[in-house]
Structure 1
């Protein structure tokens, strides 16, 4: 279907003129309020009001925040924004999956940057797949995003902004309805689950991702259960304990191979943090239990990692660990040399894992027709060289 519309301290989303309050912690909101003359004694009350209007009601301008005085709303509007990312394009798959291309300010990249965000509606839940970086440094050979060089990290506000914009478009705030009859779950919240599985490696942008996920799980705001938030990593071992301790979200590991030599090829990060180190970090992940299992993602590549011997090795590798194995049929993208395993082979592989006592669902490919499936996300953002950036700025200046 065609387009419907054509590791630093967290920073707010910003327009050319004003910074945004979306993505700020309560402490940062207090600083922002004091900076425009709000008495320190009032900040706690004002923060509660802003938090409610921004994250519960989905207000997109200060004028709607009627529990605050007109004078304060005017002051806020002069200095800040509750803006959203710009939508460059919105695509809808034949299966109801939505993919947005969002645009953010350059922040040193030389030109505005773009990321993709995907919404997957299912019976009883709606999952939002968020990006954490523009591009990626990991260069996993089966992943389309890996062919795009890293441009920059997203800020906490830009990560939360993806959630806000998706909820706007889906009608997931009081008084809103879904745009153009969007496919949504029949019951419950429209955005009920978040997965950090979009563009980028979340643990290479830990501070911003952490702040965004704490906002998403805050009970007085967006209010998603931490058991409905999953962070997926390719295996940045030193950051895995901090993820459990400081965010409390579910963990997913982008595994894809059971031998170091093959994983070195598929996931080059394995050369730095090999399987033994990665699995030890998983076994000691804070809060791991049968109720909080680690998900291991395993993309099925024909003739590469899909033999029954590898299925048995996978079971031995994870023995004794509370785990679930998601088998992901490879989603092709332009220029890839890999093929998806035959469906019969995927089912045989799953049967070996299931008989060993591990849940091993085969992930139904979603949004393939709009390149929205797992491993297919990529934007055209590129970091400008200094000379190109100077030329662009000179052109803008006239």
Structure 2
């Protein structure tokens, strides 16, 4: 079954007897036992719920994984995953990460005795250089947020498998529609389901997808113990959103490609970060490991004044955090997604007052371009 069909028909609700086309919302906290020592397969919704089970099955199939676990947010998924590690463990992570991941690692995970090295993952030889006896995992975003660095997943997988390390890949930007990290050697895939998987900016969700039963069992134990599970209604919203994932991703990528080209030729834009541009340093890696380039663009403008004017003048593109919905959103990373990263560290990565990040939606591309054109006027 092709992925666009899987998005629509990836799961069958065997517990429903009505013939409903849509998966019902099982809005219940607990389930009746048929008899002592017997179970319907559902006991308590923190452990499993029929609606959540369906979205987990679909995500696992889309990512070609053994199991998927649905959480109340992307950060809840990452926080639960970090419970796999113990005090003294060491993790190598992308230097360019979503600010929420950095906040979790540098404050909560370090408090719990886990140490980190942040490196540019596009230089895979640097990974070997920082591996220690206590290293347990490599954590990457590709493309990264917000600088759009691309990591060669298969090359990193060779390093991690040779040394018995976990390879964890945040696949939020490309989704399984464009990229399949487990097929390239990853052990765990992360999603902020809030973004493209939902696609409508109307719910929070997170997913972990694993490549083995052993990881599934360990994470499901953590899952039921910590309890940040996805609610039945939010599970239903993700199922609904997934039905249009393929058509949304194609349209958003088409729009992003045209917009990135237009931005590259604008006099007030000094640099464009989009993996789909031939000028991007990781363009060939992207072509090798992904079916597409996605719809996330970061770009630098000529001054802080220009950046702030854009944010205040846009009418179709909305000045808001998040990404991946049908609406185009424009974000100021230094004040929003990466506000908690120390200034010197942030600016060293290129996240400064002239950098904007845009999630390109499904509006008519001519309207998006005209909107940015008027916002960029002197």
TM-score scaled by length of structure 2: 0.30
TM-score (norm: length of structure 1):
0.29
